[in-house]
Amino acid sequence: MPLVTTKEMFQKAYDGGYAIGAFNVNNMEIIQGITEAAKEVNAPLILQVSAGARKYANHTYLVKLVEAALIETDLPIALHLDHGDSFELCKSCIDGGFTSVMIDGSHHSFEENIELTKKVVEYAHERGVTVEGELGRLAGIEDDVNVSDEDASYTRPSEVEEFVTRTGVDSLAIAIGTSHGAYKFKPGQKPQLRFDILKEVEERLPNFPIVLHGASSVIPEFVEMINQNGGNMPDAIGIPEEMLREAAKSAVCKINIDSDLRLAMTGSIRKYMAENPAHFDPRQYLTPARAAIKDLVKKKIVNVLGCDGKA
């Protein structure tokens, strides 16, 4: 099966009350772990590539690895640009075979965000590619840029209809209290999401797919694995799974997960190296790392997203 856009998978997810996992990919083992998990539970997938991933692994390598995953799994997979910050970057990914792009104009003014997003939508739609826009700004780390809590802002529901109508975007990322990275809440702070904002957005945008970024749960098992094997991560806190399950049942059709993959991979590599200090063959420590990603993604699909059996 060739790469698909997000159009059909979002419609099915919206109607079915589940969400698709959008997992960040940076190398072969991550792509294999994610896609093998999805294959086993027959789930559609979004594999997303950030500007940083593209810089690290190279556009062509990532596209070819994802094409290999398509051959191996025969699943509906969309290849998506995560946090595109310019028209040029989006164009380069569209021209280079991606089936979906995000243009993240959330750090611009409302009018500038509309102008930039509209330009990307026009280019993308002429070529059959879907586009995700963003309104509101998440805190946390994105491509080496640290957005402080003060600079973060919730999405204003009153702006969403105008944004969607004027830009023509296919989906909209909103800020309701999730954030990027492993430190989403301060120690002692109770994790909270603004479901009231999500509800109002849903009401204002009927039958329209919403995206949640910064949705890793920061699974304690992996933080402990890192800290018990030479790491030193301070109180890392993520989004509780029950909140994500609730979101997945709503208009939220895409849930972005990267940090949990990083923690699973790093935790298992640290553990392996601590237990086998003389080993130096990357295949030895990358085998449990890939297996940890596979296990994690399978659990996310079945226990949180609800998209198992929907491919």
3-class DSSP state of 305: helix
The CA angle 71-74-76, to the nearest 5 degrees, is 120
Select 184 or 213, whichever has its Cβ closest to Zn ion.
213
- Annotated catalytic residue, options 82, 85, 258, 308: 82
Cβ atoms of 229 and 271 within 8 Å: the answer is yes
Torsion, Cα of 270, 272, 278, 284 (10° steps): -120
Binding site for Zn ion (CB under 5 A): 213
Among 80, 118, 180, 294, interactor with ligand G3H by CB under 6 A: 180
Select 93 or 311, whichever has its Cβ closest to ligand G3H.
93
Q: Give the number of other CB atoms < 10 A from CB of residue 41.
A: 16
CA 30 to chain centre: 13
Interacting span for ligand G3H (CB under 6 A) from 29-37, 47-55, 62-70, 107-115: 47-55
Task: Report d(CA 300, CA 126) in Å as an integer.
Answer: 34
Largest CA distance in the chain: 60
Shortest distance, position 142 Cβ to ligand 13P, whole Å: 7
Shortest distance, position 305 Cβ to ligand G3H, whole Å: 17
How far lies 179's CA from each of 31, 82, 109, 118, 146, in Å? 23, 15, 20, 25, 11
Active-site annotation holds for 104: no
Task: Report d(CA 102, CA 132) in Å as an integer.
Answer: 4
Q: Two tokens at 197?
A: 């904002």
Q: If binding is defined by CB under 6 A, does position 22 make contact with ligand G3H?
A: no
DSSP state of 189: P
Task: Report d(CA 140, CA 10) in Å as an integer.
Answer: 26
Residue 133 bridge partners (DSSP): 172
Footprint on residues 119-138 left by ligand G3H (CB under 6 A):
none
Binding site for ligand 13P (CB under 6 A): 24, 82-83, 180-181, 213-216, 256-260
Among 52, 231, 240, 288, interactor with ligand G3H by CB under 6 A: 52
Select 118 or 180, whichever has its Cβ closest to ligand 13P.
180
Pairing of strands 45-50, 139-142: unpaired
Q: Going residue by residue from 257 to 276, which x/- string records binding to ligand G3H, judged by CB under 6 A?
A: -x------------------
Shortest distance, position 207 Cβ to ligand G3H, whole Å: 27
> What residue 143 binds from ligand G3H, Zn ion, ligand 13P, none (CB within 5 to 8 A, per partner kind)?
ligand G3H
Shortest distance, position 258 Cβ to ligand 13P, whole Å: 4
Task: Report d(CA 154, CA 237) in Å as an integer.
Answer: 20
Footprint on residues 57-116 left by ligand G3H (CB under 6 A):
82-83
Select 49 or 225, whichever has its Cβ closest to ligand 13P.
49
Among 142, 170, 260, 308, interactor with ligand G3H by CB under 6 A: 142
Select 134 or 308, whichever has its Cβ closest to ligand G3H.
134
Look at residues 181, 175, 285, 300 and name the one whose alpha carbon lies nearest to residue 234. 181
Select 215 or 311, whichever has its Cβ closest to ligand G3H.
215
Among 40, 67, 115, 143, interactor with ligand G3H by CB under 6 A: 143
Cα atoms in the 13 Å half-sphere on the side-chain side of 105: 25
Active site residues: 82
- The contact set with ligand G3H (CB under 6 A) reads 24, 50, 52-53, 82-83, 142-143, 180, 258
